[in-house]
Structure 1
Amino acid sequence: MTTNKHAPRSRIVVLNRWSDGFAAYHRYIDHATNNVAYICTPNGAAALDASQTAHVEELADILDEDALHKAMSSCQSALGGIDRLIALSEFDLLKAARLRNSFNIPGDLPDTVVRFRDKTAMKHTVAAAGLRVPRVAALEDVAFAKANSSPVMRFPIMVKPRTGAAGLDVPRIDTRARLDMLWPTLPLVEYECEEYIEGPVYHVDGFVRDDTWVIARASRYINNRLQFAQGKPLGSVMLDPGPLNDAVLEFAAACLKALALSNGPFHLEIIGACDGFYFLDVGARVGSGEIPFLFHELYGVDLFDLWVTHQSGDEARYAARAQAALIASTSITRGGFLMLPEPVGKIFVDAQLPNTIPGLYEAVLPARRHLFNGSSCSGNILARFRYRGASEEEVDRAIRATLRDFRYTLAESVGSPNSSTHDITLRKTLRLLQQ
């Protein structure tokens, strides 16, 4: 624990789980005019500029809510009170809401946040507003486990953690026999099942202020996040202005209204089925992966800046940032991304990317001899690409050219995944990535 004394102005606590560039909160909070404390893991603490912080609480496990509560009490004592609590990871939003409730801090509280973390609750809320959602049930409410029971929906179904994210740990179940095998392994209170809806998946990302779009972009996936978790590439292309774009945005706005999201960022996913749009999922947070980079690089809009400014209670700065984003939202530029999944257990040797793909402006590759250790973080995937263009077609064409022409070399490793060096025993032949 470290403590530096500053004259307090606004007393802010940041709940930080990041240890990379996302931990540079000084970009968004003036540490000279505010008294800022952090609660984080040791790795998260190492990423901070300690000279600018008023107080730091290090926790071995940021998921331990009893430890979090004690850390908040320590921050409250060190700061002489707490005016605001900032949390940016989707996995921390509900914990932060409960802490605000306990310490009487303004901001999003549990009754609001639970609609964006509990998939069963969010779908019931959207359905109550008369919008299409897949039929859904909490597993604890379903009688699948009984010997002669009838399922409440037809197969295939999706079995999901109620508070999961990014398609992680989401199996598709096609038969009753497969469900019977899976059933004993699941903590029923933590899972839901929902009917599988066939159709293209769209996502809408942006920011809303006082129930009004500040900036929003509708995109269509190439593959989807569930397929990405299963080892396939994931691409995304922003839709051109037109009837489809307008319809996706209109449906997204209706979903956000049903969920009462009036201020903040969002990442919302929609299925385009043969009988209309279905609400799939939503996070009251900045979209992950390449999404925040696209907004910043294409439009000059830092969604994290908007979100932190809103959470910190700096109304003047928030209004100015929102107005700038609203002006930027009129841009006709379209963009997209491609992410290639992690080849777990392999070593990155090299890659060759043609420099003749129009619209491809950023490619992020691992360092040579990087071991893919299965950490599932975005910085540990095989490759990330970002694109810009004047139209949806241009961006789509560039993504498919990358899928066709990007070549890379991997190698096997010998030794423990935890060792600091790895011997290359088999250099694979140069391979062409296939979608």
Structure 2
Amino acid sequence: MTPLRQWLAEVASRTNVLTSKEIYPHYAGDFAGTHAIPDYLDDIAFEQTVAEIVRHHPITKLIHVTEDDILRCAQARDRYDLPGLRYIDALPWRDKYHMKRFVRWTGVPTPEFAAPSSIVDAEVFARRVGYPVVVKPRLGFASRGVKVVHDSAGLREAASAWDVDDVLIESYTPGFVYHVDGFMHDGKPLYVSVSRYLNDCMAFHDGLPLGSVQLDRDSENFQRVARFAEEVIPALPPVDFSPFHLEVFHTPDDELVFCEIACRLGGAHIMESLTYATGVNPAQLWIRHQAGLVDGRTVAVKDRGNRYGWLLVPPKTGVLTGIDEPTGYPFIKDFIVKAPIGKRFDGAHASTDSFVAFVVEGTDSADLERNIRFCSELSNTLGRWAT
């Protein structure tokens, strides 16, 4: 998905890449240095590796790509006085408590929320706003660790597992969810794509697929949600040219309510969908901009006509013994096998957990949704499982 040797060809001979031990073989030998961190989420190992690189090379830029890297790369830029996103500006884009405070200050509708220091604080909050409530990590992503709690007993059970320094509780917002993806610079959106989730990001708990449909640009909902994004983005600290990923609730009362936003590319197969829709790979453009190889603000990103979306099919409980690849469906742009045959699963643990995925095309939003729902039915026949 990220052929960095190709994307950074002009500077590969003076670029160091930090990656996980699993990905290391894909990049080894292509750069001035490739460094494997056994546990890529180990912040101390990351800091030590960066320090070792800085000790031997005159580093001028630090490029971040994933959600996990936003804050620790910002801290490294502070430490070594490197250009780019600094910690004080990055934090509200990453920490959902600070994020919601910034957005609420501007008057954008936001769920009630709190950062409880104890179960007592959480229970007081829940009694005030009413059950159900949502408990989530402040620094989480892909719906990992997110729980909808319906009563005091459930809240106490959730509290037994949470990290008091990384927990947010908020009022439950019913309805469906849009995600808004695009590019921004200095507090202003430059390009906006609006999509609607099919099912929702918690559907994996019930073993249901998560899908996404790009809305038609001339639709009322597209225009309305795009205007909402124009209110949210300037509420947070301005950043240099960057992708953004915004999620918005649409309630049964026809109100738009802020969920969360990130200063990075959305996950799942948003990258591929945007590439098909615009002809511009957003990950490639963002990485090359950070490397100083292109000014992303000058690149024309525009939709070319058709609508695109994706479907993530969660694994079942058992051993995956086979996968049949679908053929003869021209609207299936990509069919991605995401797990090796023989792997044992105990279901999905995050919204992005899947064993196969589809990237799908439609002539318009309605046609796209029909095609994705067809793929959802088709997926039931593709995987073979053993207990």
| Fold shared by both chains (TM-score > 0.5) | yes
Give 1:390's aligned amino acid: T
Where do residues 25-174 of structure 1 align in structure 2 (5 Å cutoff)?
25-32=4-11, 35-50=14-29, 52-79=30-57, 81-140=58-117, 143-144=120-121, 151-174=127-150
Given that residues 143 and 151 in structure 1 are in contact (C-alpha distance below 8 angstroms), is that contact kept between their aligned partners in structure 2? no
Mark the CA change 1:267 to 1:230 in structure 2 (over 3 Å): closer, same or farther. farther
* Deviation for aligned residue 1:101: 0.4
* Deviation for aligned residue 1:253: 1.8
- Encode CA deviations 1:232-258: one digit per residue, 9 max, x unaligned: 111111111222101101101211111
Given that residues 166 and 226 in structure 1 are in contact (C-alpha distance below 8 angstroms), is that contact kept between their aligned partners in structure 2? no
SS of 2:334's equivalent? Answer: strand
* Deviation for aligned residue 1:161: 0.6
Equivalent position of 1:423 in the other structure? none
- Encode CA deviations 1:65-107: one digit per residue, 9 max, x unaligned: 333333222212322x211001111011101100110010010
In 2, the alpha carbon distance for the partners of 1:368 and 1:261 equals: 42
* Deviation for aligned residue 1:229: 4.9
Equivalent position of 2:153 in the other structure? 177
Given that residues 132 and 277 in structure 1 are in contact (C-alpha distance below 8 angstroms), is that contact kept between their aligned partners in structure 2? yes
Matched, 1:397 2:373: no
In 2, the alpha carbon distance for the partners of 1:289 and 1:84 equals: 27
TM-score (norm 1): 0.80
Give 2:20's aligned amino acid: T
Mark the CA change 1:264 to 1:242 in structure 2 (over 3 Å): closer, same or farther. same
Mark the CA change 1:87 to 1:145 in structure 2 (over 3 Å): closer, same or farther. closer
Give 1:195's aligned amino acid: S
Mark the CA change 1:368 to 1:101 in structure 2 (over 3 Å): closer, same or farther. closer
* Deviation for aligned residue 1:276: 1.4
SS of 2:213's equivalent? Answer: strand
Given that residues 267 and 284 in structure 1 are in contact (C-alpha distance below 8 angstroms), is that contact kept between their aligned partners in structure 2? yes
In 2, the alpha carbon distance for the partners of 1:368 and 1:85 equals: 33
- Encode CA deviations 1:325-373: one digit per residue, 9 max, x unaligned: 43xx1423211111111224321424374735x6333222367834244
In 1, the alpha carbon distance for the partners of 2:84 and 2:144 equals: 28
Which of 313, 323, 327 is 1:340 aligned to?
Answer: 313
Mark the CA change 1:354 to 1:400 in structure 2 (over 3 Å): closer, same or farther. farther
Mark the CA change 1:250 to 1:353 in structure 2 (over 3 Å): closer, same or farther. same
Which of 355, 362, 382 is 1:408 aligned to?
Answer: 382
* Deviation for aligned residue 1:386: 1.5
Which of 264, 267, 271 is 1:292 aligned to?
Answer: 271
Give 2:38's aligned amino acid: A
SS of 1:57's equivalent? Answer: strand
Matched, 1:204 2:180: yes
In 1, the alpha carbon distance for the partners of 2:338 and 2:36 equals: 29
- Greater relative contact order, per chain length (Cα 8 Å cut-off, separation 6+): 2
Which of 375, 382, 398 is 2:355 aligned to?
Answer: 382
Q: Which moved more, 1:196-205 or 1:63-72?
A: 63-72
Given that residues 21 and 37 in structure 2 are in contact (C-alpha distance below 8 angstroms), is that contact kept between their aligned partners in structure 1? yes
Mark the CA change 1:175 to 1:243 in structure 2 (over 3 Å): closer, same or farther. same
* Deviation for aligned residue 1:306: 1.9
Mark the CA change 1:378 to 1:223 in structure 2 (over 3 Å): closer, same or farther. closer
- Encode CA deviations 1:11-32: one digit per residue, 9 max, x unaligned: xxxxxxxxxx43x312222355
Q: Which moved more, 1:55-64 or 1:302-311?
A: 55-64
TM-score (norm 2): 0.90
SS of 2:15's equivalent? Answer: strand
Mark the CA change 1:92 to 1:149 in structure 2 (over 3 Å): closer, same or farther. closer
Give 2:382's aligned amino acid: Y
Given that residues 298 and 388 in structure 1 are in contact (C-alpha distance below 8 angstroms), is that contact kept between their aligned partners in structure 2? no
Given that residues 159 and 171 in structure 1 are in contact (C-alpha distance below 8 angstroms), is that contact kept between their aligned partners in structure 2? yes
Given that residues 204 and 350 in structure 2 are in contact (C-alpha distance below 8 angstroms), is that contact kept between their aligned partners in structure 1? no
Where do residues 186-205 of structure 1 align in structure 2 (5 Å cutoff)?
186-205=162-181
Mark the CA change 1:210 to 1:124 in structure 2 (over 3 Å): closer, same or farther. closer
Equivalent position of 1:355 in the other structure? 328
Equivalent position of 1:364 in the other structure? 336
What percent of counterpart residues are identical?
25
Mark the CA change 1:360 to 1:172 in structure 2 (over 3 Å): closer, same or farther. same
Mark the CA change 1:150 to 1:238 in structure 2 (over 3 Å): closer, same or farther. closer
In 1, the alpha carbon distance for the partners of 2:186 and 2:359 equals: 31
Given that residues 343 and 381 in structure 1 are in contact (C-alpha distance below 8 angstroms), is that contact kept between their aligned partners in structure 2? no
Equivalent position of 2:213 in the other structure? 237
How many pairs are equivalent? 382
Give 2:376's aligned amino acid: L
* Deviation for aligned residue 1:397: 1.1
SS of 2:110's equivalent? Answer: coil
